[in-house]
C-alpha cells in the first residue's frame, strides 16, 4: 500500500501546478475508504451496534463523510478544470498575438511589428545614443517574376529571400516584411559602414542562390538610413520613408 501511494504521489504531471490538487483529490478518496470500510464491516460481521458508536451516530458520521467527500471532490475538479482553461486561454492569446505581428507567408515581422520594433529602438537610441541602421530591401522586378513564372514561384522567392536574411543577420537585428516585395532591416548598434557590410553579405548570399527556373537571378535594391542626432527626432514612419527614398 505504501509503495502504491508513493508511486501515485511521485508521478510527474504534464502541468506541475496541478500536482497539489491531484494529490489532495487522491487523499480524500483514501480518507473516504475508512468510514466506508467500517460501514461494510459493521453491516456484514456485527449484528449489534458498535461499542463506540451507536447505529444512529454512525449513520450521521457516514453522511457527513459523504457530504465532505462530494464537496471537496467537486471543488478540486473545478479548480483543476479552471487551471486548464486558464492555461489554454493564455496559449490562445499568445498564438493570436504572434499571428497579429507575423507575416503569414514569410513568418517574419509584419508591418505593424516592424513599426513597434522601430519605436522601441528609437527610444533606446535617445536614451543611450547608440547608432541604429534602418534599411529597406526591395526585390528587383518582382512583378515580372510573378507574371512570368507564376505566383507560386513568387512566393518561393519571398520565402527563400527572407530565410537568407534571417540566417545572415545577428540575433539583435530585426527583419520584417513591409509590404509586397519590400523588407525592412533594423540594425541596432550599427553605424552606416556596419550596415553596408551586413547588406553586402546578404547580397552575396542571394546572388549565389539557385532557382528551379534557370536562368533566374534575384537581385534587390537597398535604401539605408543611419539614425544619428539629426534624424533621431523623427518618428518611425518618416525614417522608413527616408530609407525608402535613399
pLDDT in tens, 117-134: 888 888 888 888 888 899
Q: What sign has the CA pseudo-torsion 105, 108, 113, 114?
A: negative
Q: Is 181 a catalytic residue?
A: yes
Q: How confident is the model at residue 153 (pLDDT cuts 50, 70, 90)?
A: very high
- Looking at the predicted structure, is the pLDDT value of residue 83 above 70? yes
pLDDT at 245: 56
Q: Which cell goes with 106?
A: 514569410
Check residue 40 and give its pLDDT: 58
Alpha-carbon gap, residue 132 to 188, rounded angstroms: 5
Q: What is the pLDDT of residues 29-45, one digit of tens each?
A: 566 565 656 555 565 55
Residue-level pLDDT at 157: 94
The three-class DSSP label of residue 139 is strand
Q: CB count, 10 Å around CB of 25?
A: 17
- Residue 17 DSSP label: G
137 has a pLDDT exceeding 70: yes
Among the residue ranges 115-124, 135-144, 165-174, 180-189, the one predicted with the least confidence is 115-124
The pTM is what?
0.63
pLDDT at 147 over 70: yes
DSSP secondary structure string for all residues of 159-204: HHHHHHHHHHS-TT-EEEEEETTEEEEEEET--HHHHHHHHHHHHH
Residues 3-12: what's their mean pLDDT?
43
Residue 188's pLDDT band (cuts 50, 70, 90) = very high
Q: Which of 181, 182, 210, 212 is catalytic?
A: 181
What number of CA atoms fall less than 13 Å from residue 98's CA on the CB side? 7
Amino acid at each position: 500500500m505504501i509503495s502504491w501511494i508513493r508511486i501515485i504521489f511521485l508521478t510527474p504531471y504534464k502541468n506541475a501546478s496541478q500536482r497539489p490538487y491531484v494529490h489532495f483529490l487522491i487523499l480524500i478518496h483514501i480518507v473516504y475508504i475508512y468510514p466506508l470500510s467500517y460501514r461494510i464491516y459493521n453491516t456484514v460481521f456485527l449484528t449489534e451496534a458498535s461499542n463506540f458508536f451507536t447505529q444512529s451516530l454512525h449513520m450521521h458520521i457516514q453522511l457527513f463523510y459523504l457530504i465532505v467527500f462530494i464537496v471537496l471532490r467537486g471543488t478540486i475538479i473545478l479548480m483543476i478544470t479552471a487551471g486548464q482553461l486558464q492555461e489554454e486561454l493564455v496559449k490562445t492569446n499568445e498564438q493570436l498575438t504572434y499571428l497579429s505581428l507575423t507575416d503569414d507567408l514569410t513568418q517574419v515581422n509584419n508591418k505593424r511589428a516592424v513599426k513597434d520594433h522601430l519605436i522601441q529602438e528609437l527610444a533606446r537610441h535617445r536614451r543611450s545614443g547608440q547608432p541604429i541602421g534602418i534599411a529597406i530591401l526591395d526585390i528587383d522586378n518582382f512583378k515580372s517574376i510573378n507574371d512570368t513564372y507564376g505566383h507560386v514561384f513568387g512566393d518561393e522567392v519571398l520565402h527563400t529571400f527572407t530565410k537568407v536574411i534571417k540566417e545572415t543577420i545577428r540575433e539583435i537585428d530585426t527583419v520584417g516584411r513591409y509590404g509586397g516585395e519590400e523588407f525592412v532591416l533594423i540594425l541596432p548598434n550599427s553605424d552606416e559602414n556596419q550596415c553596408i557590410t551586413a547588406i553586402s553579405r546578404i547580397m552575396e548570399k542571394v546572388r549565389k542562390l539557385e532557382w528551379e527556373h534557370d536562368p533566374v537571378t534575384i537581385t534587390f535594391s537597398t535604401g539605408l538610413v543611419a539614425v544619428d542626432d539629426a534624424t533621431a527626432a523623427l518618428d518611425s514612419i518618416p525614417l522608413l520613408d527616408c530609407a525608402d527614398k535613399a
